[in-house]
Structure 1
Amino acid sequence: MAQEINPQQRTLEQWLTWMEQCHPSEIELGLDRVRQVSERLAVDLSASQVVTIAGTNGKGSTVRYLQTIYSSAGYSVGCYTSPHFLYYNERVELNGQPVSDQLLCDAFYAIDQARGQIPLTYFEFGTLAALLIFSQTKPDLVLLEVGLGGRLDAVNIIDPDIAVITTVALDHQDWLGDTREAIGFEKAGIFRTGIPAVCGDPDLPESVLKHANSLKAPLYRAGIEFHINCDGDLCQFKGKGVDGTAVSLADIPRPELPLPNAATALQVCQLLPLVISEDQKRVGIAQARLTGRMQKVSYQGINFCLDVAHNPEAAGLLADRLALWDKPILILGMLKDKDRAAVVEALLPVISEWHLVDLDTPRGGTAAELASFLPDDVKPYQHATVTDAINYLVNSEKPLQDVMIAGSFYTVAEALSVLKRD
């Protein structure tokens, strides 16, 4: 019989394996358990400005815009995001760098000691670890990305100084409801009484508006209180200050990440008390990059582009970007609980050749299932893995156009494990 490892001596990998096994459910929404453990740990983020960011799409790029803007101004910034691509440490960043294995292991040990008999999911352990690390390191700004929904997500034990909803679309319907109104209500659960709420969706569900009004939360809406327009390579932002006065910022370089999220981030900047210059905002917007979001990687002489687009809204945004290309080849792998038919339909007009892959994960869909959503006159290639698809294209004798890889975090993570070998 294997000897039990002393928790204080566990490696990060051993902690992660143990955390996966110590709760019967991957997801168990609710705040009581995680709040109780947080109080035992004396988690306190009062030394930091806190922005909590929920939304169907655009959370990661909004976090990255804010991180690069405030880092360029010399502020210390802590970011908590999920999921990760290659290394768990990617979920918890301080000043643009993933935290060390040791810092995470120390946090997991403290959480395990504090929880007693309280069960925690893998995500709740991770959220508490990030909060504990930020409580100890006290960065000027803490950016917390909601994992699922908002109202019952573990992140929501923290009262933010600003709450953000990027977009509201149909996703995670088994957990959040099957209408935009129901999903909007769940995401608006991060709002607090009298605290500014910034919403990047120009078509907000009524449930979001009602909840903001009930809390008397000042609401800043894309297309109403703030917007951004571009002319060529330069953009102009117009928004509102805390006192309601009009503000503007011209000559912003057109960003690499999605433009609507840049506007959302710039509106947040108008409401935070951390002082930054106009040039620091421009630099932050221009420098923002994010793994798996229109990420370009050259491998074996081929230009690959990776985007995690995994639901209809994200696929529509990706299709708009690809409409400017010369019809790329697509490697697509998706989870079976996503709206695969709608994603395929959105991408169909902008793709020249389809390479469909199986995803080897419990929720993973197959290439054959994806093929069933294509019209009869489209003949896709089918591969057992993302790696197989990449190798097939690399070894192809025909000249290749750009290759797009999309459909899931799992798809992009496996692709990165191959493409980063160069």
Structure 2
Amino acid sequence: MPESLGEWLAHLEQLHPSTIELGLARVATVKERLQFRPDFPILTVAGTNGKGSTCAMLEAILGAAGYRVGCYTSPHLLRYNERVRVAGYEVDDAALCRAFAAVEAARGDVSLTYFEFGTLAAMWLFVQQQVEVAILEVGLGGRLDAVNVFDADCSVVTSVDIDHTDYLGDDRESIGREKAGIFRATRPAICADHNPPHSLLQHAEGIGAELKLINRDFGAESQEGQWLFWSQAGWRMTLPYPSLRGAYQLDNASACLAALEALKEKLPVTPENIRRGLLEASVPGRFQVLPGKPALILDVAHNPHAARALASNLHQMWCGGRTIAVFAMLSDKDVAGVIAALREEVDLWLIAGIVHARGASAVELQARLSDVGIQAIQAFPDIAAAYHHACQIAGEDDRIAVFGSFHTVAEVMQSARNRKPD
């Protein structure tokens, strides 16, 4: 049996013939063999974009209220430990190894994907470490995602847009149906999408979920230096803007508060807990601006919906010079859609391939950029080289925007560790 965390992760990667295989039967079988019954409330969060930010705000608010919170998110940027947090801290290697060993012993001859194995291990850890509430981020879709083997006390869908079309369908109705699969009968279901697909509404009604929609049942109003959360159920409070940057974070914050209001009997929180949590929440790689000059912006945007949000944020953020992009993507993503969303905000594209089976090559990216008439392009052998060149040519008033994939941001994070703040 593997001993170190690195050995375990290598074992997980080769266990199953495919990295993704949607379906709950295998996970449910191993869950039953593990014989754990979570006795704490569970919040499950799905959505094309905004899942990580929503989980972070829920975790911070509930942590500020004194709850022992378990939070499971994916993917990670630098360390697997980022995925599993208890009481505000990443769990250590030894705890993860114990959890993996428990799942390995229980699974017998059942094959699990990397994500399925990790999901069961995280929940096993939450039970062992006696958390008082668990926040689970869906990996892909919702209905057939491993996280959905656990019944949520409250489900949140942050947004519905086009991504993972090979698995979820290529239109919002198909994707909305998959995400609505995390809803449960008679339990609160929160949707922060401003134009929810009919399929999501239909599924919620069909199973009798307590659906709450943004702009109908709850919402946010921007004010000078603060914002107002309102809810038809009764909550109304003036709050500081979240520490997470971007106007769309008010939608995510509103969804958090609607979920917490729905669970106020099980998990009471105070306005002060909410204020503190909104100010303390952090998520690396979501419009993350690192201190120093030139400005360095890291954003894992990898689909057109997220790219449009990034473009809006870049447009609203003052810049006295050029915007230099460090850009790399996976080939199965909508590369053309991401380029279209950001072309007006970028002056120079520094591109590279991603060393991954699904990575788009620099040649492929250059062709996509050239197809739409973009000429200011330079290609590099890898992401680190593109980033280092950006640092060499950027003036103090320029900014470097890194986007396109979790892989892209992770590579630059490694390279930027020695970056000096102002």
| TM-score (norm. length: structure 1) | 0.94
Give the Cα separation in 2 of the matches to 1:57 and 1:43.
Answer: 31
Give the Cα separation in 2 of the matches to 1:399 and 1:54.
Answer: 39
- Deviation by residue 1:8-56 (Cα, 9 ceiling, x = unmatched): x61000011011112111111111111111111112212x110011111
Give the Cα separation in 1 of the matches to 2:301 and 2:376.
Answer: 22
User: Which residue pairs with 1:369 in the alignment?
Assistant: 364
Secondary structure at the aligned position of 1:253 is classed as: coil
1:208-223 map, 5 Å: 208-223=200-215
1:356 is the counterpart of 2:351: yes
Secondary structure at the aligned position of 2:17 is classed as: coil
- Deviation by residue 1:344-369 (Cα, 9 ceiling, x = unmatched): 01101111221112111011012222
Pick from 4, 13, 37 the counterpart of residue 11 of structure 1: 4
1:284 is the counterpart of 2:277: yes
Offset of residue 397 of structure 1: 7.3
CA RMSD of superposed structures (Å): 1.5
Q: Which runs of 5+ in 2 are unaligned?
A: none
1:22 maps to a residue whose letter is: L
Pick from 334, 339, 342 the counterpart of residue 347 of structure 1: 342
Offset of residue 153 of structure 1: 0.6
- Check the 8 A contact 2:350/2:390 in 1, yes or no: no
1:228 is the counterpart of 2:220: yes
1:381 is the counterpart of 2:394: no
2:104 maps to a residue whose letter is: D
User: Which residue pairs with 1:310 in the alignment?
Assistant: 302
- Check the 8 A contact 2:158/2:252 in 1, yes or no: yes
Q: Which runs of 5+ in 1 are unaligned?
A: 1-6
- Check the 8 A contact 2:244/2:283 in 1, yes or no: no
- Check the 8 A contact 1:298/1:419 in 2, yes or no: no
User: Which residue pairs with 1:54 in the alignment?
Assistant: 46
Offset of residue 251 of structure 1: 3.5
Pick from 237, 248, 265 the counterpart of residue 249 of structure 1: 237
User: Which residue pairs with 1:271 in the alignment?
Assistant: 262
1:293 is the counterpart of 2:281: no
Offset of residue 399 of structure 1: 4.7
Cα distance, 1:69–1:315 mapped onto 2, change above 3 Å: same
1:20 maps to a residue whose letter is: E
- Deviation by residue 1:194-220 (Cα, 9 ceiling, x = unmatched): 011000101111111111111111111
Aligned length in residues: 409
Offset of residue 333 of structure 1: 0.8
Secondary structure at the aligned position of 1:246 is classed as: coil
Secondary structure at the aligned position of 1:372 is classed as: helix
Give the Cα separation in 1 of the matches to 2:395 and 2:410.
Answer: 26
User: Which residue pairs with 1:186 in the alignment?
Assistant: 178
Pick from 368, 387, 396 the counterpart of residue 390 of structure 1: 387
Offset of residue 259 of structure 1: 2.1
Pick from 402, 406, 410 the counterpart of residue 413 of structure 1: 410
- Check the 8 A contact 2:60/2:277 in 1, yes or no: yes
- Check the 8 A contact 1:163/1:196 in 2, yes or no: yes
- Check the 8 A contact 1:356/1:380 in 2, yes or no: yes
Offset of residue 342 of structure 1: 0.9
Cα distance, 1:377–1:10 mapped onto 2, change above 3 Å: closer
Secondary structure at the aligned position of 1:230 is classed as: strand
- Check the 8 A contact 1:51/1:162 in 2, yes or no: yes
User: Which residue pairs with 2:124 in the alignment?
Assistant: 132
Offset of residue 400 of structure 1: 5.2
- Check the 8 A contact 1:234/1:254 in 2, yes or no: no
Give the Cα separation in 1 of the matches to 2:260 and 2:20.
Answer: 33
- Percent identity, aligned pairs only? 41
Offset of residue 122 of structure 1: 0.9
